[in-house]
Amino acid sequence: MRIDIITVVPDLLTSPFGASILKRAIDKKIVEVHVHNLRDYTDKSYNQVDDYQYGGGAGMVLMIEPIDKCISALKSERDYDEVIYMTPDGATLNQKTANSLSLLKNIIILCGHYKGVDQRVRDLFITREISIGDYVLSGGELGAAVLCDSIIRLIPGVISDETSALTDTFQDNLLAPPVYTRPADYKGHTVPEVLTSGNFPKIEKWREDQAYDRTKKLRPDLLDH
């Protein structure tokens, strides 16, 4: 998979892809992540990429021209399955979305900034709009990093034990069951006996019951889907 991220503050994306699972995925050449500085695609003085909004009002707006130039340059080199815009008013990211995006070959992610982007960008170039929650950040970079993490970890070969991702919370509209590790007894707080029994059908049934009970208690809305 190849992911191209368009941003006005590329430095914000250095750390997320420089460590842990995402770095290993890049080093193993399972995924390519390319960050593009939008300021490289403007002819304005001082590398300007934003301007005042028509009709007045507070906040600057990213202009269409540099975004058009950047997206057009990328599309001239390959086909893209999705051009995603990170925005608070997009569809809320969930596991189903991450699953579907992880199957794609090439995607572009545009990070909003300031007051957002010229609406014509959304009308002409964007195929999908995604939010990571009902709150506003300074820009879409952190949201893009979250989206990439949720996608990349699902690609075969990224996580050594691929079954691990398949048992994550939300994969089957249930929260994950509680998990335990050594020691079995810590200051009188013991691991449930079933988990140390070696009876794997019984353990699987316990996990299913726990997942359902936790979901019913903490996120009953998920059971409606």
Question: Looking at 101, 124, 152, which one is the last position of a domain?
Answer: 152
Is 162 contained in some domain? no
What pLDDT does 165 receive? 61
Per residue in 57-95, pLDDT (tens digit) is: 889 999 999 999 999 999 999 999 999 999 999 999 999
Question: Looking at 99, 124, 152, which one is the last position of a domain?
Answer: 152
Tell the residue number behind the tokens 């997320």, with chain if given. Answer: 16
In terms of domains, do 179 and 134 share one?
no
Closest by Cα among 89, 85, 84 to 136: 89
Question: Looking at 118, 152, 186, which one is the last position of a domain?
Answer: 152
Is pTM, for the whole model, over 0.75?
A: yes
Q: Which domain holds residue 40?
A: 2-152
Total count of residues recorded for the chain: 225
In terms of domains, do 143 and 184 share one?
no
Measured CA to CA in angstroms, residue 123 lies from 32, 112, 126, 128 at distances of 27, 15, 7, 11
Q: Residue 62 forms beta bridges with which residues?
A: 50, 117
Q: Long-range contacts: 12-16, Cβ < 8 Å, 24+?
A: 12/139, 12/141, 12/142, 13/141, 13/144, 13/145, 16/145, 16/148, 16/149
Is 39 contained in some domain? yes
- On the question of pLDDT at 163 being above 70, the answer is no
Residue 225 — pLDDT band, cuts 50, 70, 90? low
Closest by Cα among 167, 142, 155, 164 to 28: 155
Q: State the helix-helix crossing angle for 141-152 and 20-27, rounded to 10 degrees.
A: 70
Phi-psi label, residue 44: left if phi above 0, alpha if psi -120 to 50, beta otherwise: beta
In terms of domains, do 34 and 72 share one?
yes
Is 164 contained in some domain? no
In terms of domains, do 84 and 183 share one?
no
Per residue in 172-195, pLDDT (tens digit) is: 789 989 999 999 999 999 999 999
Q: Can you give the CATH number for the domain in which 62 is found?
A: 3.40.1280.10
